[in-house]
Amino acid sequence: MGAPGLTTPLRSETFENLQLNAGIFIKNLDYSSIADATALKTAIAAAIVAGTNILGATRGGGTFVVTREIREPEIDGRRYSFKGGKYVDSADAKLTTTLVELTPSNLVMALGGATATANGKKTTIKMHTAIQDSDYISSLTWFGDLADGRIVAITLKNALNTADLSLTFTDKGEATLPIELHAHQENVLDYDEAPFEIVFFEPSGNVGSITVTSSAGANVGGTTLSTTNSLEAGQHYVYKIGNASTAPTIGYREEPDYTWTEWDGSSELAVGASSNGKKATVAVINSSKKVLKTGTVVLAVKTA
């Protein structure tokens, strides 16, 4: 008998969920009205061209860390940890990276409380001891690419560098400027949510089309569907039944909810005699459960 196969979490969608490359840090890019990754890439490209709000090139990538203080009350008689028995007393979110572009704005940011004054061809940076509201970056976002075309955005609100400034310069090398920016609440009334967010943007596109036909099944209440579509690796079908006038709809790369039912592509479907004449939609979804193609059909169901 041969050796048993390896137990592994590797799936076809694994390669779609990989985060690639070091990403980019941008200040104050408002993406609240941006609907998808395609539009977001355009906004990021514009920010790069403008050059005013990007931190610039980095070395060694970066990190995002959320540190929480979790408290579990000591209560007489408690022998175990129980669900619902823990509380978050505090949380700190930070983004760190090492910059290799030495600019006045980056040094001001690294000092965490400073001003840069331009006078002709000269710019002077001075640190002040009192940290002012203007020293905080309203939003600092790291944007990273996922392998399947999505973009993930991690945003700190009211970001401030709290680490000491350490500018390292070497012979036959480039100066490096590590930064450690922490998120802050806007005011003392903000207790419901921590001052950071993580947003995934799906790429835009159009749903492809497939042809689906229906014929009465062998059993009462059954229908047999067929399609000329060929599934690729990791893909499968789901379907949903509407009414006599309207077929269900779903957008490109949307994830079908519980109202959609799996279909293996060949088995007769038991939809009930009352579904005869109703419109249904069959969707092709990828290994990440995102819709790629759809087709609609009027169901022919065996009623007697």
Q: What are the pLDDT digits (tens) for 256-278?
A: 999 999 999 999 999 999 999 99
- Asked whether residue 196 falls in the same domain as residue 94, the answer is yes
- Asked whether residue 30 falls in the same domain as residue 103, the answer is yes
- Asked whether residue 233 falls in the same domain as residue 110, the answer is no
Full residue range of the structural domain in which residue 154 is found: 12-73+80-201
- Asked whether residue 232 falls in the same domain as residue 108, the answer is no
What is the average pLDDT score of the chain? 93
Q: Does residue 234 have a pLDDT over 70? A: yes
Number of domains making up the chain? 2
- Asked whether residue 64 falls in the same domain as residue 160, the answer is yes
- Asked whether residue 170 falls in the same domain as residue 253, the answer is no
Q: DSSP for the chain?
A: -PPPPPP----GGGGGS-EEEEEEEEES---TT--SHHHHHHHHHHHHHH-SSB---EEEEEEEEEEEEEE----TT--S--TT--EEEEEEEEEEEEE----HHHHHHHHSSEEEEEETTEEEEEE-SSPPGGGSEEEEEEEEEETTS-EEEEEEEEEEE-SPP--B--TTS--BEEEEEE---SSTT--SS-SEEEEEEPPP---EE--EEEEE-SSTTEEEEEE---PPTT-EEEEEE--SS------TTPPP-TTSEEE-SSSPEE--GGGTT-EEEEEEE-TTS-EEEEEEEE------
- Asked whether residue 67 falls in the same domain as residue 164, the answer is yes
* Residue 281 burial (10 A CB sphere; 0-12, 13-18, 19+): buried
- Asked whether residue 251 falls in the same domain as residue 156, the answer is no
* Boundary-marking domain end, from 179, 201, 223: 201
* Boundary-marking domain end, from 180, 201, 222: 201
Residue 248's pLDDT band, with cuts at 50, 70 and 90, is very high
- Asked whether residue 148 falls in the same domain as residue 247, the answer is no
Q: Kindly list the distances between the CA atom of residue 267 and the CA atoms of 37, 49, 226, 296, in Å, as whole numbers in the listed order.
A: 37, 54, 10, 18
Q: Is residue 233 part of a domain?
A: yes
Q: Note the pTM of the prediction, 2 decimals.
A: 0.81
Backbone phi, then psi, for 160, in 5-degree steps? -145, 135
Q: Is residue 254 part of a domain?
A: yes
The enclosing H or E element of 240 equals strand 236-241
> Which pLDDT score is estimated for 4?
65
Residue 133's pLDDT band, with cuts at 50, 70 and 90, is very high
Residue 3's pLDDT band, with cuts at 50, 70 and 90, is low
Q: Is residue 1 part of a domain?
A: no
Residue 280's pLDDT band, with cuts at 50, 70 and 90, is very high
